[in-house]
Amino acid sequence: MLENAWESHATALANASNTSAFIEAVENFVRVAKIDLNKPSRVIYARDTRPSGASLVRALEDGFKSIGAETRDAGITTTPVLHYLVRAINTKGTKDEYGPDSEEGYVTKLTTAFKKLVVGRSMYSGMTRRSPPYRLERPLCRPWLWIAPTVLVHWHCRNLYPPLGLASPSSP
């Protein structure tokens, strides 16, 4: 979630061979990044659904408490939502405000972008349904559309369920 320019600092911290080297790497990072240590640290974090997540978050929170950081736990969520929250928080109150710092804000931003992407387009792509022996049949709606590398949005094609022999989602 940090800018790429911070990668060298993260590498220096991770590769410190002992406590002295680590402290030196931290001091260098603070100096180069011009970090004001008198301002409070603010961190937003989240986790995925792996069983180890809860214990890792507890350890993370203990570390934050020990340094007096201001924190916000976004709970169990996706990386795209966490990226959105960080950007929304970092731009809040500026002329470049990105949106409300909530999961609902993320969903609104995503659905607005999706609507702009598909406005004026037919829900039928050039795709066709293939059946053995692989002859082309009727057009098939694109039921899935990639919006971002890690976000898959379902494009509901209710009117095509009966012709494809599938139960409609509204069926009992």
Domain locations in the chain?
Answer: 78-121, 122-160
The pTM of this model reads: 0.59
The count of other CB atoms within 10 Å of the CB of residue 53 is: 13
Question: Is the pLDDT score of 169 beyond 60?
Answer: no
Return the closest-CA partner of residue 102 out of 85, 78, 125. Answer: 85
Q: How confident is the model at residue 155 (pLDDT cuts 50, 70, 90)?
A: very low
Query: What tokens were used for 100?
Result: 């409300």
Alpha-carbon distance 45 to 98, whole Å?
Answer: 19
Q: How confident is the model at residue 4 (pLDDT cuts 50, 70, 90)?
A: confident
**Phi-psi category of residue 171: left, alpha or beta, with phi > 0 → left and psi -120 to 50 → alpha:** beta
Position with higher pLDDT, 165 vs 81? 81
Please report the pLDDT score of residue 114 as a whole number. Answer: 87
Q: Name the band, by pLDDT with cuts 50, 70 and 90, for residue 121.
A: low
Q: How confident is the prediction for the chain on average, in pLDDT?
A: 75
Whether the ω angle into residue 132 lies within 30 degrees of 0, i.e. cis, is no
Going by their DSSP bridges, the two strands 144-148 and 151-154 should be labelled as: antiparallel
Identify the residue with better confidence: 144 or 63.
63
Tell me the mean pLDDT in the region 109-117. 89
pLDDT at 36: 87
Amino acid identity for residue 98 in this structure: Y
pLDDT at 156: 38
Confidence band of 75 (pLDDT split at 50, 70, 90): very high
Q: Name the 3-class secondary structure at 8.
A: helix
Q: What is the pLDDT of residue 17?
A: 95
What is the pLDDT averaged over residues 128-141?
A: 44
Spatial contact of 22 and 13, defined as CB atoms under 8 Å apart: yes
